[in-house]
Copies of this chain bind each other. A is one copy, B any other.
Amino acid sequence: MKKAPTIRDVAAAAGVSVSVVSRVLNPDSGPVAPAKREQVLSVISDLGYRPRAAARELSAGHALTVGLVVTDLANPFFAQLADRVVWEARSHGVQVVVMTTQEDPHLEAESLDTLLDRSVGGVIATPTGGNIEKWDRLRDLGVNVVFVDRAIAELGDVDVVSIENSDSARRATDHLIALGHERIGLVTGPASTSTGRSRIGGYRAALESASIDIDPILVRDVPFRGDGGGDAVGSLLALPEPPTGLIVANTAQVQSSVRRLVQMGVRIPDDLSVIVFDDNPWTELTSPPLSVIRQPIGMLAVHSLELVLGRMQGRLPAGARTIEVKADFVPRSSCAAPARSATSKSATR
């Protein structure tokens, strides 16, 4: 086990001082004579010298690292988000430390502390909704925070990147209405999240402008964790007047919801038209392939990172920014006109 060379080894071998080597390493930090620069560069490559990140961080006070804090990576949405964030970060020479919260504020708090210890320059997160003070403290200490996919109402001045939640929900609802559906179920995220509320808003707006009465019993906000999606689906279909259309607008509950539909033997789209939020690798492999709202995950990642890095480098004006990107509606084969006598279908179950 060898010892890696340090900047002083390089300086000695090149016959210059460490200052010069450092200036070669950081081109804008001062002048270096062209001849010496070549000299130093050649020694660096001979010795295979690489600057230790820890030393740089210590003296800079912050690391070229961003934390990515999401629920978990088993969820394809977060996995793909992480994939894109890691990819984008690499092209900027930034590393990503991934932490998961399992939607538990305690784990979230612990993650934030850890990231703080590491002096990360920024954090990209889907917040659980708790830890208001902790987020504040983090930002007080100079960590740049960007929320992605969700916002927290109590934290107003934070950068947020999300899709146009209200508009997306509205378009999904409009699509079902256009097919003739009037009873449309909505499974969404917790009403405590901005995302959940916006989607409910879009759903309502669509129904209202079609002059369809809103039946609150058709709207179910379920937590991100657990099997609430499946349960909501079961309960919706067990209603005396079950919905003929269903929108699953809770990314984390899509799988649970669809599994339940399959288990119950619900025929799609004959018994039920279905639209789900967020395109997974498998949504086109089910039968029938599912119509989806596709979140442009790459865009979310790019913008989040852009914001974090922009703030880290201080090249963004003060003031929180909210970026909303348009989501695509991808029609496949899971939607059709409702069966004639919608009400008689309660027997389906």
Report A's interface with B, CB cutoff 8 A: 1-2, 4, 50-55, 57-58, 63, 65, 72-74, 76, 79-80, 82-83, 86-87, 90, 95-100, 107, 110-111, 113-114, 116-119, 140-142, 255, 258-259, 262, 280-282, 284-287
Q: Which of B57, B82, B142 contacts A73 (CB 8 A)?
A: B82
Contact of B50 with A281 in the complex, beta carbons under 8 Å:
no
Contact of B287 with A117 in the complex, beta carbons under 8 Å:
no
Q: Which of B73, B86, B110, B285 contacts A83 (CB 8 A)?
A: B73
List the B side residues contacting A99 at CB < 8 Å.
86, 90, 95
Cα distance, A63 to B114, chains bound together (Å) = 13
Q: Which of B2, B63, B86, B107 contacts A100 (CB 8 A)?
A: B86
Known: A79-B76, A79-B79, A86-B73. A52 touches B287 (CB 8 A): no
Q: Which of B58, B87, B116 contacts A58 (CB 8 A)?
A: B58
Q: Which of B86, B87, B119 contacts A52 (CB 8 A)?
A: B119
Q: Which of B4, B86, B117 contacts A141 (CB 8 A)?
A: B4
Contact of B80 with A117 in the complex, beta carbons under 8 Å:
no
Known: A1-B140, A86-B98. A55 touches B58 (CB 8 A): yes
Q: Which of B114, B141, B284 contacts A1 (CB 8 A)?
A: B141
Known: A54-B57, A73-B86. A98 touches B98 (CB 8 A): yes
Cα distance, A95 to B120, chains bound together (Å) = 12
In the complex, the chain B residue whose C-beta lies closest to that of A143 is B1
List the B side residues contacting A1 at CB < 8 Å.
140-142
Closest approach, in angstroms, between the C-beta of A305 and any C-beta of chain B?
Answer: 14
Contact of B287 with A286 in the complex, beta carbons under 8 Å:
yes
In the complex, the chain B residue whose C-beta lies closest to that of A110 is B90
Known: A53-B118, A76-B76. 14 other contacts (CB 8 A): A1-B141, A50-B113, A52-B58, A72-B83, A73-B79, A83-B100, A90-B99, A96-B97, A255-B281, A258-B285, A259-B285, A280-B282, A281-B282, A285-B285
List the B side residues contacting A50 at CB < 8 Å.
113, 116-117
List the B side residues contacting A2 at CB < 8 Å.
140-141
Contact of A74 with B83 in the complex, beta carbons under 8 Å:
yes
Ordered by A's residue number, 18 sampled pairs between the chains whose C-beta atoms are within 8 Å are A1-B141, A51-B117, A53-B118, A54-B54, A54-B58, A54-B63, A55-B58, A58-B58, A73-B86, A86-B98, A90-B100, A97-B97, A97-B98, A98-B98, A258-B285, A262-B284, A280-B282, A282-B282
Identify which of A2, A54, A117, A255 gathers the most chain B CB atoms within 10 Å of its CB: A54
Closest approach, in angstroms, between the C-beta of A238 and any C-beta of chain B?
Answer: 22
In the complex, the chain B residue whose C-beta lies closest to that of A116 is B50
